[in-house]
Every structure is written in structure tokens, then in C-alpha cells.
Amino acid sequence: MPASRRIPRQETRRQIEKEHAALQLEQLKAQLQPHLLFNTPDSIYGLSLAGSPETPRFILLLSELMHYVLYDSGKEHIALPEEVTFLENYFEMEQRKYAGASIQFTASGAELAVLQVPPLLLPLVENSFKHGRHHFSDAARVAATLTAEAGILQFVIENDMLPAPPRICLRRL
């Protein structure tokens, strides 16, 4: 086969693979975002019935999280400070829901204010909480660290559940 015919086929194949990956990412986002948007109002409802002074803060956090999910998570790239603010709010909300659990998020690095990143962290964070022990134990732990240095973004999130096999994690991403 002439080289001139192979090049368009290779380009077409790359384009199809890129579109397939984008569709998989959108499908993953669609699966996870309802978890955030439907479960949090239940928590707020419970707080309001108990007359908790935490209710207004939960409503504000939910509003900010919904703004991110609806308007920012669909963008191709987002300013890293916006992603960090989202993660801080998300972790604060989870810590308030599960007061006995150890839920921590830290962000550091010289390039936190300048990097633009694809909004890919939400599925990882939601899965860590969705499958963590904090639903079952006050002694549970979820911790995340985000570092931005030398043009490299490193995000590590851990919970105290057994990890999924790597092939499953890679397929989901």
C-alpha cells in the first residue's frame, strides 16, 4: 500500500481514538456527577431537620460545587486555582458530613497559580469517597495531595480501602 494512503488512515484512526477517549471521559463524568448532586441535598435535608448551624455552609458549598460541575468541568482546560478551590470545597463538605473521619486535602507548589489543566480530578476524588470506609467507620481516612512544580502536576489520593486492579483504573480513565 502506498505511503500516501497509509497517512490518512493513520490520521483517521488517531482521530477516532481521540473521540472515543473523549466520549469515555464524558460518560465517566455523567456517571459520577449525579452522585455529588443528588446525595449532598440529602445531607443538607438531614442537617436542616436537626436544626444544625452547619446547614447554611453546606448550601453554600453545594452551590459552589454545582457551579464547577455544570460550568467548569466541561471545559477542555481550567485554571488550576479553580480546580484547587473546587477540591478544597469538596473535601470540606465531606469532612463536615463525616466528622469522625480523617479527610484531608493539601495543595502546594510554585506553579499552582499559573497552570491550566484538564478537569480530570473529580472522578478520582468522587471514587475515593464513594468507595472509602468513611461510610462505615468513624476512623476512616481519605487524603489527597496536589503539587504543581516545574510544569508537572502531581495528584495523589488515598483512602483506606483495597485498591482496584490497575487495569480497571486505567480503563475507567
Q: Which residue segment(s) compose the domain that 119 sits in?
A: 3-172
Q: In this structure, which long-range contacts are made by residues 118-122, counting pairs with CB atoms below 8 Å and at least 24 apart in sequence?
A: 118/76, 118/77, 118/78, 119/72, 119/73, 119/74, 119/75, 119/77, 119/78, 119/83, 120/25, 120/173, 121/83, 121/87, 121/146, 121/155, 122/29, 122/32, 122/33, 122/69, 122/73, 122/86
- One pLDDT digit (tens) per residue for the chain, 173 residues: 555 556 777 888 888 888 877 776 666 555 555 666 777 888 888 888 999 898 999 899 988 888 887 788 778 889 999 999 999 999 998 888 888 888 999 999 998 888 998 888 888 888 888 777 655 666 788 999 999 999 899 999 998 876 656 665 555 55
CATH number at residue 107: 3.30.565
pLDDT value, residue 66 = 83
Question: How many structural domains does the chain have?
Answer: 1
